[in-house]
């Protein structure tokens, strides 16, 4: 599946100043490191391929406590996956499915405090 083009996004992606770790709760393994984020989705860099069209239960470790949270739990569906420019890594685009309004607020605060550069 091809990446969603920027003109199809309702929000601009934002790079974070940290490569935050995102874990697969089912396996307990590191799914990837956050490259950019919006409230609606994210781009992860990973050392192994990520299965497209699969929904993962995720835990993102925050760089500091945000709104009383050290982690954010959410479901995310891999929309696309491909080899990164650096052949040692893979990149994957996700659509996030966040039900808890507090988690959405925490992601918005994360973007405000730890993101730079619109893409």
**pLDDT tens track for 27-44:** 999 999 998 888 788 999
Using a 10 angstrom Cβ sphere, with 0-12 exposed, 13-18 middle and 19 or more buried, the burial of residue 107 is: buried
CA–CA gap between residue 2 and residue 17 (Å, rounded) = 26
Q: Which domains does the chain have, with CATH numbers?
A: 6-118 (2.40.10.220)
Give me the pLDDT at residue 119, please: 44
pLDDT band at 19 (very low <50, low <70, confident <90, very high): confident
In the predicted model, is pLDDT for residue 13 greater than 70?
no
């Amino acid at each position: 599946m091809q990446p969603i083009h920027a003109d199809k996004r309702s929000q601009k992606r934002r790079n974070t100043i940290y490569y935050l770790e995102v874990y697969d709760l089912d396996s307990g393994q590191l799914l990837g490191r956050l490259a950019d984020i919006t409230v609606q989705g994210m781009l992860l860099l990973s050392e192994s391929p990520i299965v497209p069209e699969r929904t993962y239960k995720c835990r993102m470790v925050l760089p500091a406590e945000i709104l009383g949270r050290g982690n954010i739990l959410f479901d995310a569906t891999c929309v696309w996956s491909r080899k990164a420019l650096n052949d040692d890594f893979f990149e994957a685009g996700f659509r996030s499915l966040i039900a808890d309004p507090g988690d959405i607020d925490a992601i918005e605060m994360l973007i405000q405090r730890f993101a730079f550069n619109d893409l």
